[in-house]
Structure 1
Amino acid sequence: MPDMSHAQRHSSIGIHGLHQHEGAHNIKRIRLLRRARWAALGVLLVLGAGAAVVMTERAAQARALTASTQENAKVHVYVVSPRPARGQQTLQLPGTLQGYIETPIYARSSGYVKQWHKDIGSRVNKGDLLAEIATGEIEQQLAEARANRAQVQSNLQLARTSFERWQGLRQRDAVSQQELDERQNTLKLVQANLAASEAVVQRLELQLSYNRIVAPFSGVVTKRNIDVGSLVDAGNGGAPKLLFTLSQTDVLRLYVSAPQSAAPRIKAGQEAQVTLAELPGQTFTGKVVRTAGAIDPATRTLQVEINLPNPDGKLLPGSYVQVALQAAGADKPLLTVPNNGLLFRPEGTLVATVVDGKVQLKKVTLGRDLGVRIEIQNGLSPQDKLIINPPDSLAEGDVVVASEAPVPANNKEGGKDGGKEGTKDAAGKEAKPATGPEAPAKAERSAS
């Protein structure tokens, strides 16, 4: 029955009163739907708030990363100002003492050493006997030469008597003039033979005198290379070649090589202070006696000779010494910079300075190396700001952030802070400039 109503169908199957509860069920469903809507809205709000927080944090992190990247991109450097060299400039040079006269002594005649009289360390006077050489062959040659001379002298006497006799006969016209001339020529020939014999005798006597080795001057025997029975040859080509070495030590001399930059300020008569490590606290005063007057093109140095009195013999020839020369007369004091502020490039030696926050490279001429500092002859002014420990990649026009390098507390003299300016920075004991990774890295390289 298609037209049957809902009430009739319900009554037919035994369901009664369902229509009475439909309103209550609809109200509950509406309430549940409302609660679901509010719950969904709350979830959406929470999710939106979380998304907003995440986006805000990401934006802040992006801004921080951008700022950090920009900060890290900056090159932070330490700068110092060049300093003038303080006080009178002193030139320290190494040298080796040597005797005022040092002579190797060789034999003038060949033979065996008969006896030596002076050993190393012996002080001798001029003419003192040092050694004797046995020269039996020369003695025999001398005896033969003297015998020949006596024979020639007898012939000379006979020739002279014969000439005088023939001269008298010629006056009586008993002999011819030719016969007289022959007797005269015979006399002259014998006279020449006698002169030759005399020369041979004198030569052998002189050669025999060389068997006595004597001191050519007063001094000290510093070497003895022979012993009794040693075979020596005349000259310096035999074995052993050298007999003695004699040195005059009352006055010593030494030669030093002054750099070309100081050559114009070194003059004869200038005082020189000599010190030895073996004699601490003692200074010996010498005098510049002469210079080479020319620069050695191989070393670019000037050879300087210094004489040093040594009356008490305290200084020994051959000693290594330090010589201090006062480089007076300079037109103006030179500037000094830390040696960790130099750049060595193909175009020469450069320094990096900061001008209006940008790098400016300057070519300089170096002077003396003072250890942790070095002299600059030209190319810098006292107003320049020099970058210390510049990176190898630094180029002209680079933008940098410059800060004054902290000075160590114990830096009281010029020239002692060049190698220490970055040491304390790396240790973190001094005030640091603006933050940045470059400056601590540079300080660390300086400390190493």
Structure 2
Amino acid sequence: MKNLKPILTMAMPILISLAISACGPEPESVAVQPQPVKVYEVSAVDTENVRRFPAVIEASEVANISAKVSGQVTQRLVHPGDEVTAGDLLFTIDDIDFKLNVAQAQANFTLAKVSFDRVESSRQKNIATQADYDNAKSNLDKAKVALQQSQNQLDNTRIFAPISGTVVRVNADRYDFINAAHTVVTLHSTDNFDVKFQVPSDLIRRYNGDPSDIKAKVSVNTLTDQLFDAQFKSFSADSDRSTRSFNLTLTMATPQQNKGNLFPGMDANVFVNLSDLNKDVTILVPSHAVFQSNNQNWVWKVQGDKVSKTAIIMGELYDGFISISEGLQPGNIIVEAGVQQLSDGQAIKVWTGE
């Protein structure tokens, strides 16, 4: 017992401290913030009859803007890479001489009008002859045309953008002297892009020579996790002599979130969907939306503001996408990126990229 007294004496402060801690207030819980995630809407495509073709992205509309009058450039208002809107001012040309031409044409028109009014008054009094009247009327018409032409030339000293798009090339600078018909700016439209590729004759034959109803999706090599809807635009009925294939052009609207990421010249792939010829369809999802756990493949299905761990059965790989034979239906929303940071039932917030 004598040996226990020093031990109890040393332990008492620790026991008291633990007792006070146990009686103290509980620590406040920290609110868990929803996990931002990028999502993908599941869609069905015809994988039994999907044909893939290499393609290239081109500008849907190209404007080579030329000067209509010769003169010295006084202002250059754009540079390569600038985004412009239809009607924006691009260049101005020295207009001093053109203003003088308008003033002279205006004076000639005023004189011709006075002369015509005098002859017309005399003609009504049978003083002037019909020939005098016709000559005065002709001079007035010529003066009017000359005035309009000089005004048009003055207006053409200001060069405007005919379409909205991106400035690709600028071929003149301030103080340069340019001639009429000289191309000063090249614009590419950015609201739509064309997708050009070649298809073999057997595919054209399956469409009875008219591929206007062709169903296709496009993946761009720099945006491999996205598929874009594309519509038929044009078709060359004459095959290429070297490849014996037919040139086909699709068009697609530029998604708002991808403006600035798509450019003419980019490589792409076109997936031609033959579902109207064969009805066997399956589902494609981005490959990085799938993860593995306990020897099973899974995706995170979005249900309201939470995620649910959903087992799937995978099929073939299609250029960054995986076919899903079981576990998903068209219209399901799944998490596309950040799948390793989630847990079943976790609250999420859809990331819009804004």
Shorter-chain TM-score bucket reads: 0.5 to 0.7
> By how many angstroms is 1:230 displaced?
1.6
Deviation per residue, 1:404-435 (Å, 9 max, x gap)? xxxxxxxx98xxxxxxxxxxxxxxxxxxxxxx
Q: Paired residue for 1:7?
A: none
> By how many angstroms is 1:328 displaced?
5.3
Report if aligned partners of 2:164, 2:190 keep a CA contact under 8 Å in 1: no
Deviation per residue, 1:360-413 (Å, 9 max, x gap)? xxxxxxxxxxxxxxxxxxxxxxxxxxxxxxxxxxxxxxxxxxxxxxxxxxxx98
Report if aligned partners of 1:110, 1:231 keep a CA contact under 8 Å in 2: yes
Deviation per residue, 1:195-235 (Å, 9 max, x gap)? 11001101111121111111112222222221111221112
The structure 1 residue matched to 2:206, chosen from 265, 269, 292, is 265
Distance 1:210 1:304 in 2: 38
Q: Paired residue for 1:307?
A: 251
The structure 2 residue matched to 1:278, chosen from 222, 233, 255, is 222
What amino acid sits opposite 1:91 in the alignment? R
Superposition pairs of residues 426-445 of structure 1, within 5 angstroms: none
Distance 1:161 1:135 in 2: 39
> By how many angstroms is 1:137 displaced?
3.2
What amino acid sits opposite 1:145 in the alignment? A
> By how many angstroms is 1:288 displaced?
2.7
What amino acid sits opposite 1:219 in the alignment? G
What RMSD over aligned residues (CA atoms) do the two structures have, in Å? 2.9
Change (3 A) 1:155 1:288: closer
Tell whether 2:164 aligns with 1:223: no
SS in 2 for 1:316: coil
Higher relative contact order (CA 8 A, sep 6+): 2
Choose between structure 1 and 2: higher strand proportion.
Answer: 2
Report if aligned partners of 1:117, 1:129 keep a CA contact under 8 Å in 2: yes
Report if aligned partners of 1:265, 1:328 keep a CA contact under 8 Å in 2: no
Structure 2 gap ranges (5+):
1-46, 279-314, 317-354
Q: Paired residue for 2:107?
A: 147
Superposition pairs of residues 93-172 of structure 1, within 5 angstroms: 93-165=53-125, 167=126
> By how many angstroms is 1:330 displaced?
6.7
Deviation per residue, 1:8-53 (Å, 9 max, x gap)? xxxxxxxxxxxxxxxxxxxxxxxxxxxxxxxxxxxxxxxxxxxxxx
Change (3 A) 1:90 1:152: same
Distance 2:91 2:199 in 1: 42
Distance 1:127 1:281 in 2: 36
Aligned sequence identity (%) = 24
**Could you state the TM-score of these two structures normalised by the residue count of structure 1?**
0.47
Q: Paired residue for 2:263?
A: 316
Report if aligned partners of 2:198, 2:248 keep a CA contact under 8 Å in 1: yes
Report if aligned partners of 2:64, 2:186 keep a CA contact under 8 Å in 1: yes
Distance 1:126 1:215 in 2: 5
> By how many angstroms is 1:309 displaced?
1.8
The structure 2 residue matched to 1:183, chosen from 129, 141, 144, is 129
Distance 2:222 2:65 in 1: 31
Report if aligned partners of 2:221, 2:266 keep a CA contact under 8 Å in 1: no
Which has the larger Rg?
1
> By how many angstroms is 1:324 displaced?
2.1
Report if aligned partners of 1:88, 1:326 keep a CA contact under 8 Å in 2: no
Report if aligned partners of 1:110, 1:135 keep a CA contact under 8 Å in 2: no
What amino acid sits opposite 2:90 in the alignment? L
**Could you state the TM-score of these two structures normalised by the residue count of structure 2?**
0.58
SS in 2 for 1:155: helix
Distance 1:250 1:321 in 2: 18
Report if aligned partners of 1:265, 1:327 keep a CA contact under 8 Å in 2: no
Distance 1:201 1:293 in 2: 49
SS in 2 for 1:262: helix
Choose between structure 1 and 2: higher helix proportion.
Answer: 1
Distance 1:329 1:310 in 2: 26
Q: Paired residue for 1:252?
A: 193
Change (3 A) 1:190 1:272: same
Distance 2:123 2:234 in 1: 67
Change (3 A) 1:89 1:186: same
The size of the alignment, in residue pairs, is 231
Distance 1:208 1:276 in 2: 45
Report if aligned partners of 1:93, 1:324 keep a CA contact under 8 Å in 2: yes
Report if aligned partners of 1:272, 1:287 keep a CA contact under 8 Å in 2: yes
Distance 2:137 2:233 in 1: 55
Report if aligned partners of 1:129, 1:215 keep a CA contact under 8 Å in 2: yes
Distance 2:73 2:80 in 1: 17
> By how many angstroms is 1:124 displaced?
2.2
SS in 1 for 2:135: helix
Distance 1:155 1:288 in 2: 61
Q: Paired residue for 2:272?
A: 325
> By how many angstroms is 1:115 displaced?
0.5
Deviation per residue, 1:117-150 (Å, 9 max, x gap)? 2222322222121111113333332222222122
Q: Paired residue for 2:298?
A: none
> By how many angstroms is 1:243 displaced?
0.9
Structure 1 gap ranges (5+):
1-86, 168-179, 236-240, 332-411, 414-448
Distance 2:267 2:203 in 1: 22
Distance 2:123 2:192 in 1: 65
